[in-house]
Amino acid sequence: MYERMRTAPIGDDGLDGDPSVRALEAHVAARLGKEAGLFVPSCTMANLLAVLAQTQRNEQVVLESSAHMACPVPTAPWT
């Protein structure tokens, strides 16, 4: 395992250059029948992107009081 890690190709994911992340995105997109995928490092970021993709500026989102997104998360960008 260590040898595999040591010799793995490394790139800057922030600059769209990490081949491991790109391979993961392509694999998941293919399995789901989508043309592309996007890896995000946290559920909070994924939830935020999902809401932003489905709403317009100044729209409100209705959630149940027990919904995961309604629970306080210390690292949430909106807190």
Q: For residue 63, is it within any domain?
A: yes
Q: For residue 79, is it within any domain?
A: no
Q: For residue 4, is it within any domain?
A: no
Q: For residue 52, is it within any domain?
A: yes
pLDDT at 33: 95
d(CA 75, CA 73) in angstroms, rounded, equals 6
Q: For residue 7, is it within any domain?
A: no
Q: How many domains does the chain have?
A: 1
d(CA 79, CA 76) in angstroms, rounded, equals 6
Q: For residue 1, is it within any domain?
A: no
Q: For residue 51, is it within any domain?
A: yes
Residue 74's pLDDT band, with cuts at 50, 70 and 90, is low
Judge whether 46 and 40 are in contact, CB under 8 Å: yes
Q: For residue 78, is it within any domain?
A: no
Judge whether 64 and 55 are in contact, CB under 8 Å: no
Q: What's the pLDDT tens digit per position in 23-65?
A: 889 999 999 999 998 888 888 888 889 999 999 999 988 888 7
Range of the domain at 52: 13-70
